[in-house]
Every structure is written in structure tokens, then in C-alpha cells.
RNA sequence: UGCCCCUUAGCUCAACUGGCAGAGCGUCUGACUCUGGAUCAGAAGGUUCCAGGUUCGAAACCUGGAGGGGCAACCA
């Protein structure tokens, strides 16, 4: 952010490191090469929900506009009637805004169809484009291969008049799908396959979600994209690496169309994240095949999913900043994202105690019927926030089953027969007796508390290693907790054995529902959607769709780092 | 097999036009002594893929090699 420059003398020690794209934009500003301010755009196709990969692009495009006083448009690249839907354009707008960005203009490539058509005619007139009437297979065959040149088809040298006539009749709807296409006339032997007379326009008698049935010739990506950028006065068109080879046709088209100071394409590496998948096509399959509950399933890497899970936009922006932008394919560890999420939440959300897997504890020497209120600060000492709540304490409590072992290994600092632990914000207790049912399951612990240790400290100075969380049985609220974990069980979900696909890599444990957890009563009247750290467990948010005042439901946003689990794994 | 891109710490990545190779995660140690897990501090960790060359100086530029990726959709 902008720290004040008024601070004395210190040479800009905090000049932010710039990536290669920002360097270029800074240079554009310095040299005035475009004759206009920096202008970027975020151009999603409305055929799915936005995900983390888009978040990277959004932060880049909108971020550059903010930092350099430029503009950033939201443009829907809606040139394929088969896949697009208003529902997606609405979701995309909501997600961009939720991330904290506002576009300068909202545009649709489908509004440029007429303009694009005019450009197409002008290319025909210049002899730079022709109508090809070969079928798909013939065109493919005529393109050659990466190592051999293509061969001209029989329609390549049609006259300008014939091309123009055919193009007009294509537009008028006289021809069936696939009978003709408009192609740029460039070079069938070009080393760049994309330049071998790329297809510009195809016939599609289909319903377009915005144009209805009034338009039947649809521009292909390469034709529409650069020219749309140029029409909007974009200066730098930021896209991912796989479009590298498209840059040549991009430049060719904006030049042939006669744009002054046309935009220039810059490519950066697309984001890949461990243990998840960032491909709209594959995410759509998860949705359609019912592997998740929808695009906003909290396990999805979509913006909507992360929002529902409880992640804040600040964390996503912070993450995008830390991963940077470069020209090398980057696979980022999901741990880095989880770190950003914790880092954000740590400074923001209050701590509460929630027992996920309740085990009853009876304090045999605590007066029956007595309830005392313990004061519990909501934030640890190093979070600069204040506030506290009171926690009822009584003879019957719940602690977490994980915090008790009947036959503990060494270095287990929690409850075990004969062992003493500290109850967070409360007394030291010692376990004296383990009660089991007929099946041999532990159903209750009978303990004694030390009345002199209300502060958590023993007056005699004895050390107690473990501190565990707890709730008072009578006052605790029952709640449902949905423990979300990684969607896939391996870092690269596509790296599966022959014959299988990413579906087989799904993590069967990605959602574990705990129907009856016990949470301290202080949260009872908090608004739905409140976030907390459940101490020693993780960060949680009350589920917006499912929580009711009668029955709270919590999503686990992210767990805490767990060194004991690591210790266990090591053993 | 043609063209293009990439190769830097254990891992994932930075390093503007050649000028002391840096982060995050992970690991280890310490502090806070009421979160075993938060947070903070410190440490360890490098033949910049290899071989040559240019230069006072190369991760960066040049040549060759090795390994990985992209491109031959009427998708974007």
C-alpha cells in the first residue's frame, strides 16, 4: 500500500518489488508509448464460476489499474453460444466485487459482433481473408503438421467479390453450420501453426444467451480477443502462457484492422495449486457429476466456494500478492494458501472453545449445582484487539476425546489416568477414574479439580504441561461442524494411473460432518457468518446457508498447524 | 521431428535494462511460560541444469548439450 512519503529522509526502503509486467507498464507510463493511460481488462468467458486462477488474473489486472492510475474493464468473452449463460455472468460480477475490485466499464464481446464483422469485410476487401468451404477434416489436413507445411485448399484463391458475397450470405443465415468459415489469408507454411490461415468466423445457428437467435456467425477467440482489446483501448492485454503462440495473430489482426497504438499482449504463468484443480472444464464435471454440491461447495477452489467456506477476500488478495507473477509455469503449494488464510484470520477473529468430539468429565469434588463465570479474553496477547466473554464452569464438562488417552505414549501432555492438565482459562484437573460402557468404550472421566488454581497457575508452583479446551455440559450449545479438507488426496490430481482420471484422485475425507459438537454459549447471539478460531482446532465460520439460531452449523475454514499430529506421524 | 517458453535453497517461486542471489513453506533452536498447534525471534540450507564463450563483472548475454512444458479445436 502507499506509505506516506512525508516521513523524513528514509530512501524508499520499502519500494515494492515489481514483476516484469508492472515494469513494462511503468515504462509505458514513463514513455507515453500508447498515448493513453494504462488500460487493462479481465476477460472471462461466462461458462463457469471464477476460481483461484482467475483471482490471480483479477488481482493483476485490477491491481495494475489501481497502482498506475489506469482503468480496468470487466469484459465477458462471450463468443461461444454453446457454453455460456447469464447465471455465470451474474456470478462473475458478484465474485469480482467481493474480491474488492470495481471495473471501470462492463463490456461484452457479443456487443462487438457487428464491429468485428465490419473488420472481417475489410480484410476480405484487402484480400487478407477468404471464405473456405472445406469441411473440418479437410481444413485440418490442409494445415499440415508441426514439422511439415500445409497445403492450400481449393477455395483459397476465391475472388474478393465471391468472398464478400459468401461472407454476407453467411451473416444473412443462408448457410448451414460448418459449410463455410472465414479464414485469414496468411501463410500455410508458417512455423507458427496458428498463423496457417487461422479461422476467424464460423457459422453457428444457436441461441446465444444475450444475442438470442439474431446472430449466426460467431468469431473465434483469436479473431475476437485482440480486436476487442483494441476497440476498448486496452494498452496491455494480460493472458496466460498457453496463448503465447496467439500473440502473432493478435498483432497481425490489430495491425490489419488499422488501430493506432494497438494493445500488446503479455503472457504470464497460469496458477496451479496443489491438491485441487483449476480448470473450469473439470470443475464443471465435479458439479455435474455430483461430486460436490455445486460451484459454491466449500471444497471448491472457486471464489464462491471459498467465500462460503469462510475465507476472506483479504486472504485471497494477500495470497495473490505473495505468489507473484512470472513467465515460468508455477505450481504453488496449497499450504501457502492455507498460510495466507490463517495469517489473515489470526489478527481478526475472536477465540472460542468448541469441543468437536465430546467426552464427559465429572468433577467429583466440585459442588453440585454450582456455576461460576470464568473470564476469558477473546484474543491472545499478541493480537492487538480487546474483548472477552465469560464462560460458565460447572461440575459436568465436555472435553475432546482426542485429549484423553487411557494408555498414553510418552510426551502425551493431555488427560490420562492420574495425569493433571489445565483447562483453558480455568482450573487444573486430575483424572482419577475412567468410566466405560459394556462395550468397553470410555464414556466418562471422573476427575478432581484444584480449587486453588482458578488462575490456571498452581500456588505451589508445580508445572502442568498441557492445556486443553472444554465447555460446561449444561450450558454448551450443540452444533454441527463440517470439517472440510483438501478436495484431492494427491498434489497433482491429474497424475493418476493409465485409464483413470482426476475423479479417482478425489479425497473421500474432504468433508467430515460432526453432527453434535459442543460450543461455549457465548456465540449464541452472534450473527450468522461470524468467524472464530476454535482454540487448538482451527478457524471456523457459521454456515450462511444452513445455520439457524436453533442449530448452528460451522464450516472449518482451515485447520491450525498441528505439530502433535506430526509427532504422531513420525512415531 | 519444426517453432516458442522454462530449468535458481529440501519444496514452491522471486531477482527491473549484466552490479553483494532473496521470499514463503518446510526443518531446527529459542521466546511468550494459560492455544503442544497461535504469535514472535534466530539459525541451518546455493557449483543459479551441464560445457564452453563475451565482459572489469553473468542467474541474466552468445554457442552447444541435457531435462521439462506449450502449439497441429469451426473451445477460450
Helix (H) or strand (E) holding A448: strand A442-449
Which nucleotide has the least CA–C1' distance to A455? B34
For residues A62 and A42, is the Cβ–Cβ distance under 8 A? yes
Spatial distance between the Cα atoms of A255 and A249, rounded to a whole number of angstroms: 10
Spatial distance between the Cα atoms of A116 and A228, rounded to a whole number of angstroms: 8
Q: What is the 3-state secondary structure (H, E, C) of A250-308?
A: HHHHHHHCCCCCCCEEEEECCEEECCCCCCHHHHHHHHHCCCCCCCCCCCCCEHHHHHH
Residues 235-294 of A with CB under 7 A from strand B: 241-246, 269, 272
Spatial distance between the Cα atoms of A89 and A109, rounded to a whole number of angstroms: 13
Residues 111-170 of A with CB under 7 A from strand B: 134-136, 139-140, 143, 145-147
Residue A311 region by backbone torsions, left for phi larger than 0, else alpha for psi between -120 and 50, else beta: beta
Catalytic residues of A: 45, 270, 280
Q: Look up residue A322 and give its three cell numbers.
A: 505473495
Spatial distance between the Cα atoms of A268 and A286, rounded to a whole number of angstroms: 27
CB proximity A57–strand B (7 Å threshold): no
Spatial distance between the Cα atoms of A320 and A317, rounded to a whole number of angstroms: 5
Spatial distance between the Cα atoms of A286 and A300, rounded to a whole number of angstroms: 9
Whether the complex's predicted ipTM surpasses the cut of 0.90? no
CB proximity A507–strand B (7 Å threshold): no
For residues A552 and A519, is the Cβ–Cβ distance under 8 A? yes
State the pLDDT at residue A430: 94
Query: Å between A228 CA and B18 C1'?
Result: 38
State the pLDDT at residue A4: 30
Spatial distance between the Cα atoms of A403 and A398, rounded to a whole number of angstroms: 11
State the pLDDT at residue A14: 33
Backbone angles phi, psi at A170, to 5 degrees: -60, -45
Residue listed under C-alpha cell 486472504: A315
Query: Å between A28 CA and B64 C1'?
Result: 37
Which nucleotide has the least CA–C1' distance to A538? B37
Q: Look up residue A295 and give its three cell numbers.
A: 460451484
Supply the pTM of this predicted model. Answer: 0.92
Q: Report angle CA A376, A378, A381 to the nearest 5 degrees.
A: 95
Query: Å between A54 CA and B5 C1'?
Result: 22
**Tens digit of pLDDT at every position of chain A (571 positions):** 333 332 222 223 333 457 888 888 888 888 888 999 999 999 999 999 999 999 999 999 999 999 889 999 999 999 999 999 999 999 999 999 999 999 999 999 999 999 999 999 999 999 999 999 999 999 999 999 988 999 999 999 999 999 999 999 999 999 999 999 999 999 999 989 999 999 999 999 999 999 999 999 999 999 999 999 999 999 999 998 889 889 999 999 999 999 999 999 988 888 888 889 999 999 999 999 999 999 999 999 999 999 999 999 999 988 888 888 888 877 888 888 888 888 888 888 999 999 999 999 999 999 999 999 999 999 887 787 888 899 999 999 999 998 999 988 777 788 999 999 999 999 999 999 999 999 999 999 999 999 999 888 888 878 888 899 999 999 999 999 999 988 988 888 888 777 788 998 899 989 999 999 999 999 999 999 999 999 998 999 999 889 998 899 999 999 887 655 655 555 5
State the pLDDT at residue A562: 63
Q: Which of A400, A128, A341 shows the shortest CA–CA distance to A255?
A: A128
State the pLDDT at residue A2: 33
A360, A376, A432, A475, A499 from A448: Cα distances, Å: 13, 22, 7, 20, 60
Q: Which residue is nearest to nucleotide B38 (CA to C1')?
A: A346
Spatial distance between the Cα atoms of A220 and A224, rounded to a whole number of angstroms: 6
State the pLDDT at residue A399: 96
Q: What is the 3-state secondary structure (H, E, C) of A35-71?
A: CCCCEEEECCCCCCCCEHHHHHHHHHHHHHHHHCCCE
Spatial distance between the Cα atoms of A319 and A311, rounded to a whole number of angstroms: 12
Q: Which of A263, A256, A259, A270 shows the shortest CA–CA distance to A73?
A: A263
Q: How far apart are the first and last CA of chain A?
A: 46
Torsion of CA A414, A416, A419, A423, to 10 degrees: 40
Q: Which of A122, A119, A105 shows the shortest CA–CA distance to A232?
A: A105
A398, A464, A481, A518 from A549: Cα distances, Å: 22, 38, 15, 15
Q: Which of A114, A113, A109, A54 shows the shortest CA–CA distance to A84?
A: A109
State the pLDDT at residue A220: 97
User: Bridge partners of A106?
Assistant: A74
Spatial distance between the Cα atoms of A93 and A96, rounded to a whole number of angstroms: 5
Find all residues with CB under 8 Å of A312, minimum gap 6, and list them.
A341, A344, A345, A348, A531
A380, A398, A412 from A465: Cα distances, Å: 19, 20, 9
- A214-229 in b/e form (b: 16+ CB < 10 A) is ebbbbbbbbbbbbbbb
Which nucleotide has the least CA–C1' distance to A246? B71
DSSP string, A152-179: --TTTT--HHHHHHHHHHHHHT-S-TTS
Query: What DSSP character marks residue A208?
Result: B
CB proximity A195–strand B (7 Å threshold): no
Spatial distance between the Cα atoms of A293 and A308, rounded to a whole number of angstroms: 12
Query: Å between A64 CA and B42 C1'?
Result: 36
Amino acid at each position: 500500500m502507499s506509505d506516506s512519503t512525508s516521513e523524513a529522509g528514509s530512501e524508499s526502503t520499502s519500494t515494492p518489488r515489481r514483476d516484469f509486467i508492472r515494469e513494462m507498464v511503468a515504462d509505458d507510463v514513463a514513455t507515453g508509448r500508447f498515448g493513453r493511460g494504462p488500460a487493462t481488462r479481465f476477460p472471462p468467458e461466462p461458462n463457469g464460476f471464477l476460481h483461484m486462477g482467475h483471482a490471480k488474473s483479477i488481482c493483476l489486472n485490477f491491481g495494475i489499474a489501481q497502482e498506475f492510475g489506469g482503468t480496468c474493464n470487466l469484459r465477458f468473452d462471450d463468443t461461444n453460444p454453446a457454453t455460456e449463460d447469464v447465471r455465470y455472468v451474474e456470478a462473475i460480477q458478484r465474485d469480482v466485487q467481493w474480491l474488492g475490485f470495481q471495473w471501470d466499464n462492463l463490456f461484452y464481446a457479443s456487443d462487438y459482433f457487428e464491429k468485428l464483422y465490419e473488420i472481417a469485410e475489410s480484410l476480405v476487401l484487402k484480400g487478407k481473408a477468404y471464405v473456405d468451404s472445406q469441411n473440418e477434416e479437410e481444413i485440418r489436413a490442409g494445415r499440415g503438421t508441426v514439422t511439415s507445411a500445409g497445403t492450400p485448399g481449393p477455395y483459397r484463391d476465391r475472388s474478393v467479390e465471391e468472398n464478400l458475397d459468401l461472407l454476407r450470405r453467411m451473416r444473412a443465415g443462408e448457410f448451414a453450420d460448418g459449410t463455410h468459415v472465414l479464414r485469414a489469408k496468411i501463410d500455410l507454411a508458417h512455423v507458427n501453426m496458428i498463423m496457417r490461415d487461422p479461422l476467424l468466423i464460423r457459422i453457428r445457428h444457436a441461441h446465444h444467451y444475450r444475442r438470442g437467435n439474431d446472430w449466426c456467425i460467431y468469431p473465434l477467440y483469436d479473431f475476437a480477443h485482440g480486436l476487442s482489446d483494441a476497440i476498448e483501448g486496452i494498452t496491455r492485454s494480460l493472458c496466460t502462457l498457453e496463448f503465447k503462440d496467439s500473440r502473432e495473430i493478435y498483432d497481425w489482426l490489430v495491425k490489419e484492422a488499422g488501430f493506432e497504438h494497438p494493445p500488446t499482449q503479455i503472457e504470464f504463468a497460469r496458477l496451479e495449486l496443489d491438491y485441487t484443480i483449476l480448470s473450469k472444464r473439470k470443475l464443471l464435471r465435479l458439479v455435474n457429476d455430483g461430486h460436490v454440491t455445486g460451484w459454491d461447495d466449500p471444497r471448491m477452489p472457486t471464489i464462491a466456494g471459498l467465500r462460503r467456506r469462510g475465507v476472506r477476500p483479504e486472504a485471497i488478495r494477500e495470497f495473490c500478492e505473495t505468489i507473484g507473477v512470472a513467465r515460468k509455469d508455477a505450481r504453488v503449494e496449497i499450504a501457502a494458501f492455507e498460510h495466507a488464510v490463517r495469517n489473515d484470520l489470526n489478527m481478526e477473529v475472536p477465540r472460542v472453545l468448541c469441543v468437536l468430539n465430546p467426552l464427559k468429565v465429572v468433577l467429583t469434588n466440585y459442588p453440585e449445582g454450582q456455576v461460576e463465570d470464568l473470564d476469558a479474553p477473546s484474543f491472545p496477547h499478541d493480537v492487538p484487539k480487546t474483548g472477552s466473554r465469560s464462560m460458565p464452569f460447572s461440575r459436568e464438562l465436555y472435553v475432546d476425546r482426542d485429549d484423553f488417552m487411557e494408555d498414553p505414549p510418552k510426551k502425551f501432555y493431555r488427560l490420562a489416568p492420574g495425569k493433571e492438565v489445565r483447562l483453558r482459562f480455568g482450573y487444573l484437573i486430575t483424572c482419577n477414574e475412567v468410566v466405560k460402557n459394556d462395550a468397553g468404550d470410555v464414556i466418562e472421566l471422573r476427575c478432581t479439580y484444584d480449587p486453588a488454581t482458578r488462575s490456571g497457575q498452581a500456588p505451589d508452583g508445580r508445572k502442568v504441561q498441557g492445556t486443553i479446551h472444554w465447555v460446561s455440559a449444561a450450558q454448551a450449545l450443540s452444533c454441527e461442524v463440517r470439517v472440510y479438507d483438501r478436495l484431492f488426496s494427491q498434489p497433482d490430481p491429474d497424475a493418476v494411473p493409465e485409464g483413470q482420471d482426476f475423479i479417482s484422485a478425489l479425497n473421500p475425507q474432504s468433508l467430515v460432518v460432526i453432527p453434535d459438537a459442543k460450543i461455549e454459549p457465548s456465540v449464541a447471539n452472534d450473527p450468522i457468518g461470524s468467524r472464530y478460531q476454535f482454540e487448538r482446532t482451527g478457524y471456523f465460520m457459521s454456515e450462511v446457508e444452513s445455520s439457524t439460531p436453533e442449530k448452528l452449523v460451522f464450516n472449518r475454514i482451515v485447520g491450525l498447524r498441528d505439530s502433535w499430529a506430526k509427532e504422531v506421524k513420525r512415531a
